[in-house]
Structure 1
Amino acid sequence: MKNLQPQEAWNWLQAHPDTLFIDVRMEIESLYVGRPPGVVNVPWYEYPDLQPDAGKFAEAVAREADGKAQPLLLICRSGKRSHDAGVALEAAGFSNVQHVVHGFEGELDAQFRRSTLSGWRFEGLPWEQM
């Protein structure tokens, strides 16, 4: 799996238009916090369980993808879920997986806030919100 900083991920997307861009956050989180345009939401976990099921996740991605060789780019809030989801996808046979280090909102600052130090939104990359 390739680890891409947000700006690197944006540049990579521009160079690989066949990429399936996946937001692995819960749907409500993706919609209300904000997300990059064009992402497909495939949650790593969801309410009420809040526990990942790697097999179900890989099956859901397989339904969205054009095969296991299609380039995938994963994003979440901070990079943890997307990394874990990427590991699961590689274990399921997906061969071209990237994830956004620091995710959409980035690391926590000293006041426990996000989007102040790193992340997709901090970098000023395109995003939308409900």
Structure 2
Amino acid sequence: MKNLQPKEAWIWLQSHPDSLFVDVRMEIESLYVGRPPGVVNVPWYEYPDLQPDPQKFAEAVEREGTGKEQPVLLICRSGKRTQDAGKALEAAGFSDVQHVVHGFEGELDEHFRRSTQSGWRFDGLPWEQM
């Protein structure tokens, strides 16, 4: 799995228009916190269980795309869930997986706030909110 900083990921997306861009956050996070345009939501885990099912996740990603050879870019809140989700995709046979380091909202700052020092939004990349 390749690690891409948010700006690198945006450039990568522009040069890979055939890629599948997957937001692995819970649907409510993606809708209300915001998300990059064109992203597909396939949660790594969801309410009420909050337990990932790697096989089910990989199958859902495969249904969204064109096959396991299609390039996939993963994003989450801080870049942590995408690590596990990416490993699950690779274990399932996906051959071209990358993830956004620091995710959509970035790391926590000293005041326990996100989007203040890193992440997709912090870097000023395109995003939308419901």
Residue 14 of structure 2: aligned partner: 14
The two structures, once aligned, show a CA RMSD in angstroms of 0.3
The CA deviation at 1:65 is: 1.2
Correspondences of 1:33-48 after superposition (within 5 Å): 33-48=33-48
Q: What TM-score do you get using the length of structure 1 for normalisation?
A: 0.99
**1:4-44 deviation digits (Å, cap 9, x = unpaired):** 00000000000000010000000010000000000000000
Q: Which runs of 5+ in 1 are unaligned?
A: none
Q: Counterparts of 2:124 and 2:84 in 1: how far apart (Å)?
A: 25
Q: Counterparts of 2:58 and 2:19 in 1: how far apart (Å)?
A: 16
The CA deviation at 1:117 is: 0.5
**1:37-92 deviation digits (Å, cap 9, x = unpaired):** 00000000000000000010001011011010000000000000011100000000
> Is residue 27 of structure 2 the alignment partner of residue 27 of structure 1?
yes
The secondary structure found in structure 1 opposite 2:13 is helix
The CA deviation at 1:125 is: 0.0
Aligned residues: 130
Partner amino acid, structure 2, of 1:88:
A
Q: Counterparts of 1:3 and 1:83 in 2: how far apart (Å)?
A: 9
Residue 110 of structure 2: aligned partner: 110
Q: Which runs of 5+ in 2 are unaligned?
A: none
Over the matched positions of the two proteins, sequence identity in percent amounts to: 85
Q: Counterparts of 1:92 and 1:65 in 2: how far apart (Å)?
A: 14
Runs of 4+ in structure 1 deviating by more than 2 angstroms, as ranges, are: none
Q: What TM-score do you get using the length of structure 2 for normalisation?
A: 0.99
